[in-house]
């Protein structure tokens, strides 16, 4: 065999590897979803029992006057002994009526709601929380600490469901299921509602089975006092993911973190792409920082914790690297098209069953796990990958339909150049969809093209939108952009 032939074969092999790399995140997703039903057999409920420790609730608040009253009132109505629950609102130098709202509620519930005010605000959520935690640790009353957001609504039984896990002394922290709870959610909020089922109700159950939980939800973090003191008695202020940082520290110190999907907390989520982008850039940059800070943990199994498990690491990095794997897949297919078109066509045709099977399995499972969200967001669930991605799957299964049947319906005949353009469009769609996702953010709210943002969102899909946001976050982190904790504006649209 000649050297040019050997080089050609090596290049084809490398391009095929790139395509295979592109499907690794989907394999990790399937693995997680296979563990979801296992959670019915392997969960922490066997070691849970009725347990009602004295709980101090810390609520960081900056200009939350529109949402605080409802949140505080629902806390007062929790199915929890009144003498074992105290709420501390830490006002981060608000400029609205936040202090007045808290004082009014404190007057209605004497001794149960307290206002702590920071005169110097604007340093971020972690600093605000630490102001409250420092106050609470000065005496022995608090046995458990609940960290929540100012806008969330706890269902009456949610705290009791969380504290039952603390009956096991091995448990250091518990988190709940944050569900999108807007009264009349728009398209973006409905996509987020579906996403939260996948990322929490399903993924966290799988992580319970693995014995390693990725993150305590920021709006529902319940720590034992012992755990709080063991991780330093304060929340980390050096990253943008203080909740994930606390989650890792808890487990690295040998204590268990538990997700309880039956403890439901309702939250108002962004209903615009721009607001979502701002929120998720912060989250993604925080995950980059966490990945680097705990770099000696990955893929290093240890007796005291399970964060170093192979499967947990693969799941973590499959999400972390998803934008790059999509680029790898497109690069592999486009390269094969020019180097070995027959290989590209064969591989593209053989992968349709995997794409379709993964889509159906994950979508159906997600909709069944949370029927309430399914009623609100079933359409967004079906179009989560985007119309373009669904066309890609169908095109890989039935290429003749798109090359012959559809053009015939339209009364046109594709030329060889047209077939080539269509094929390259399909191969490059994963990358193109992320580019279009950025366009959605840019046109949203503009006078001339704002109307196009929602149709584009359904065409591109919510998944590619998250990948585009993640790429933006990586670029900002690489450039060393200012690390700020941007507050998501809330309007009080949650209905309990």
pLDDT over 70 at 486, yes or no: no
Q: Bigger pLDDT: 303 or 85?
A: 85
Domain boundaries, the chain: 43-306, 317-479
pLDDT for res 6: 66
What is the rounded CA–CA span in Å between residue 129 and residue 391?
47
For the residues 237-262, what does the mean pLDDT come to?
95
pLDDT for res 168: 97
What is the rounded CA–CA span in Å between residue 391 and residue 398?
10
For the residues 409-423, what does the mean pLDDT come to?
82
| Confidence band for 401, pLDDT divided at 50, 70 and 90 | confident
pLDDT for res 490: 57
| Confidence band for 85, pLDDT divided at 50, 70 and 90 | very high
pLDDT over 60 at 2, yes or no: no
Instruction: Tell me if 197 sits within 8 A of 366, measured CB to CB.
Output: yes
For the residues 178-206, what does the mean pLDDT come to?
94
Sign of CA dihedral 178, 184, 188, 191: positive
pLDDT in tens, 338-371: 999 889 888 888 888 888 899 999 999 999 999 9
pLDDT for res 120: 73
pLDDT for res 153: 93
Give the largest Cα separation in the chain, rounded: 88
For the residues 219-242, what does the mean pLDDT come to?
94
| Confidence band for 491, pLDDT divided at 50, 70 and 90 | low
Q: What's the per-residue H, E or C state across the chain?
A: CCHHHHHHHHHHHHHHHHHHHHHHHHHHHHHHHHHCHHHHCCCHHHHCCCCCCCEEEEEEECCCHHHHHHHHHHHHCCCCCHHHEEEEEEECCCCCCHHHHHHHHHHHCCCCEEEEECCCCCCCHHHHHHHHHHHHCCCCCCCEEEECCCCCEECCCHHHHHHHHHHCCCEEEEEEEEEECECCCCHHHHHHHHHHHHHHHHHHHHHHHHCCCCCCCCCCEEEEHHHHHHCCCCCCCCCCCHHHHHHHHHHHCCCEEEEEEEEEEEECCCCCHHHHHHHHHHHHHHHHHHHHHCCCCCCCCCCCCCCCCHHHHHHHHHHHCHHHHHHHHHHHHHHHHHHCHHHHHHHHHHCHHHHHHHHHHHHHHHHHHCHHHHHHHHHHHHCCCCHHHHHHHHHHHCHHHHHHHHHHHHCCCCCHHHHHHHHHHHHHHHHHHHHHHHHHHHHCCCCCCHHHHHHHHHHHCHHHHHHHHHHHHHHHHHHCCCCCCCCCCCCCCECC
Nearest Cα residue to 98 out of 134, 72, 50, 63: 63
232: left (phi over 0), alpha (psi -120 to 50) or beta: left
For the residues 247-259, what does the mean pLDDT come to?
97
Nearest-5° Cα angle at 186, 182 to 191:
90
pLDDT for res 3: 47
299: left (phi over 0), alpha (psi -120 to 50) or beta: left
pLDDT over 70 at 54, yes or no: yes
pLDDT over 60 at 176, yes or no: yes
Would you say domain 43-306 falls under CATH 3.90.550.10?
Answer: yes
What is the pTM assigned to this prediction?
A: 0.93
Say what the alpha-carbon torsion angle 412, 417, 420, 426 is, to the nearest 10 degrees.
-50
pLDDT over 60 at 248, yes or no: yes
Instruction: Tell me if 188 sits within 8 A of 293, measured CB to CB.
Output: no
**What is the percent of the chain where pLDDT is above 70?**
96
pLDDT for res 5: 64
pLDDT for res 300: 94
pLDDT for res 395: 82
Return mean pLDDT, the chain. Answer: 91
- Residue 183 CB: number of other CB atoms within 10 A? 10
Q: Bigger pLDDT: 205 or 451?
A: 205
pLDDT for res 183: 80
pLDDT for res 367: 96
| Confidence band for 447, pLDDT divided at 50, 70 and 90 | confident
pLDDT over 90 at 57, yes or no: yes
pLDDT over 70 at 161, yes or no: yes
Comparing 119-133, 180-194, 292-306, 406-420, which segment has the lowest mean pLDDT? 406-420
pLDDT over 90 at 377, yes or no: yes
pLDDT over 50 at 228, yes or no: yes
């Amino acid at each position: 065999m000649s050297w040019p032939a050997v080089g050609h074969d090596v290049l084809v092999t490398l391009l095929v590897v790139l395509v295979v790399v592109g499907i690794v995140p989907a394999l990790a997703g399937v693995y997680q979803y296979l563990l979801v039903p296992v959670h019915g057999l392997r969960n922490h409920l066997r070691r849970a029992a009725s347990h009602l420790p004295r709980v101090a609730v810390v609520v960081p608040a900056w200009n939350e006057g529109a949402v605080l009253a409802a949140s505080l009132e629902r806390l007062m109505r929790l199915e929890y002994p009144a003498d074992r629950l105290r709420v501390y609102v830490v006002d981060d130098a608000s400029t609205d009526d936040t202090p007045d709202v808290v004082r009014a509620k404190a007057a209605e519930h004497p001794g149960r709601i307290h206002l702590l005010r920071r005169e110097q605000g604007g340093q971020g959520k972690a600093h605000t929380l630490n102001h409250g935690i420092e106050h609470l640790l000065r005496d022995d009353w608090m046995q458990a600490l609940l960290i929540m957001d100012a806008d969330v609504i706890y269902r009456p039984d949610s705290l009791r469901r969380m504290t039952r896990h603390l009956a096991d002394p091995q448990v250091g922290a518990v988190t709940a299921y944050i569900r999108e709870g807007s009264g009349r959610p728009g398209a973006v909020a409905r996509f987020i509602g579906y996403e939260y089922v996948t990322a929490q109700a399903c993924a966290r159950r799988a992580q319970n089975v693995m014995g390693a939980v990725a993150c305590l939800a920021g709006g529902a973090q319940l720590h034992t006092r012992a755990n709080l003191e063991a991780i330093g008695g304060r929340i980390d202020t050096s990253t943008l993911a203080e909740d994930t940082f606390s989650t890792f520290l808890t487990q690295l110190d040998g204590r268990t973190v538990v997700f309880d999907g039956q403890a439901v907390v309702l939250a108002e989520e962004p209903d615009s792409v721009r607001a979502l982008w701002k929120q998720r850039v912060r989250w993604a940059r925080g995950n980059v920082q966490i990945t680097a800070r705990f770099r000696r943990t990955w893929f290093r199994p240890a007796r005291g914790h399970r964060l170093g498990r192979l499967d947990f690491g693969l799941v973590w990095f499959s999400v972390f690297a998803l934008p790059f794997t999509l680029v790898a897949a497109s690069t592999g297919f486009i390269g094969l098209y020019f180097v070995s078109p027959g290989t590209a066509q064969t591989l593209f045709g053989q992968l349709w069953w995997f794409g379709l099977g993964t889509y159906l399995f994950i979508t159906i499972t997600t909709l069944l796990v949370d029927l309430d969200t399914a009623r609100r967001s079933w359409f967004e669930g079906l179009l989560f990958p985007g119309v373009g991605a669904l066309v890609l799957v169908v095109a890989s299964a039935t290429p003749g339909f798109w090359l012959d049947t559809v053009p015939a319906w339209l009364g046109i005949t594709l030329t060889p150049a047209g077939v080539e353009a269509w094929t390259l469009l399909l191969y490059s769609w994963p990358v193109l969809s992320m580019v279009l996702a950025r366009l959605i953010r840019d046109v949203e709210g503009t006078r001339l093209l704002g109307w196009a943002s929602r149709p584009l969102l359904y065409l591109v899909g919510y998944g590619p939108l998250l990948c585009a946001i993640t790429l933006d976050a990586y670029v900002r982190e690489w450039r060393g952009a200012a690390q700020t904790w941007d507050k998501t504006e809330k309007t009080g649209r949650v209905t309990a």
